[in-house]
Chains A and B, each alone.
Chain A
């Protein structure tokens, strides 16, 4: 079974802090994704990566950056956290090609920015 592990289930940070969300997958998947999920808005793609050191902007990349130094790890960075970034963050991974393969999700991180 694919295991996608997110570093924290719940996280509380303050406005202006730099926040790191970590995601690790154990199935040697090339593709990794970061989403946020908000009531009424569904899942929205922030960034994704098809390979080590590669990254692509999703639909809402503003205020975020990512890092993929190793194949199994994909980090999401909130450069200067703001209250509108309070959300549920979900990491996912998949085999290539991304358009044909289902994604496997981590448990999610509920992030609150105060």
Chain B
């Protein structure tokens, strides 16, 4: 079983749609959680950290469920520019490595 699992997609949605991605992790000792965004043939960039109480940044909402060991990302009012691969990232306090999921591809269509 992979340490971090994501639905690879692709998710094809129309502009203005709401889309949600889930990510599950296997290590209950996981301590920090992030969502990264990666555009085609570019480097990953931090989208947002995920806090225990859940957090929002504009159209993006991240949530953490420690009991079920998953995190989610909700994108409201999708824009064409949201088209990218979204990477779920988990860390735990053993060497400080980030564990990346394989990413979920999102394609927003006009």
State yes or no: do A and B come from one complex: yes
Stretch of B13-21, B60-68, B71-79, B95-103 that contacts chain A: B95-103
User: What number of residue pairs across chains A and B have CB atoms under 8 A from each other?
Assistant: 55
Task: Name the CB-closest residue of B to A96.
Answer: B96
Chain B contact residues: helix, strand, loop or mixed? strand
Residues of B contacting A41 with CB < 8 Å? 102
Residue tally, chain A, CB below 8 Å to B: 24
Q: A99-B31, A99-B92, A102-B46 are in contact. Are A48 and B97 (CB under 8 A)?
A: yes
With A43-B87, A99-B31 given, name 18 new contacts (CB 8 A): A31-B96, A42-B87, A42-B102, A43-B44, A45-B98, A50-B96, A58-B97, A90-B43, A97-B96, A99-B91, A99-B94, A100-B32, A100-B91, A102-B46, A102-B49, A103-B46, A105-B44, A106-B43
